[in-house]
Amino acid sequence: DAMVIQNPRYQVTQFGKPVTLSCSQTLNHNVMYWYQQKSSQAPKLLFHYYDKDFNNEADTPDNFQSRRPNTSFCFLDIRSPGLGDAAMYLCATSRQTGRGTEAFFGQGTRLTVV
């Protein structure tokens, strides 16, 4: 059974039209991450939550926001998508133990901007 679920798998949005990607987890993990992955590149960390504490990467554009209303759900909001935001968006979770930990990734949402 899938433990990190991303919906939808494919999302098409119009240039400049706000879009929200969702992620849910059944693992009760403390940490949730959002990554952006463009074609033939490594996943790039956008931000992560440690419980309710939000941690934004310094180079994440302001156009990208996130919400975590509860432990199970996390959302990625792109306020005004540009053509350069077309990518695979990956959600991941982990339980931070301070002893090295396994992260679990969703299948990703592929975003197309038209």
CB of 36 to another protein, least distance (A): 11
| Residues 93 and 33: beta-carbon distance below 8 Å | yes
Cα-flanking dihedrals φ and ψ of residue 38, to 5°? -95, 165
DSSP conformation class of 65: E
7 is a contact residue toward another protein (CB under 8 A): no
Q: Contacting another protein (CB under 8 A), which of 26, 80, 96, 112?
A: 96
The tokens for 55 are: 């941690």
> Considering beta carbons, is residue 5 or 73 the nearer one to another protein?
5
Site string for another protein, 45-74 (x = CB under 8 A): x--x-x----x-------------------
The overall longest dimension of the chain from CA atoms, in Å, is 44
The Cβ-side half-sphere exposure at 10, using a 13 Å CA radius, reads 0
Where does this chain bind another protein (CB under 8 A)?
4, 31, 33, 35, 42-45, 48, 50, 55, 90, 92, 94, 96, 98-108
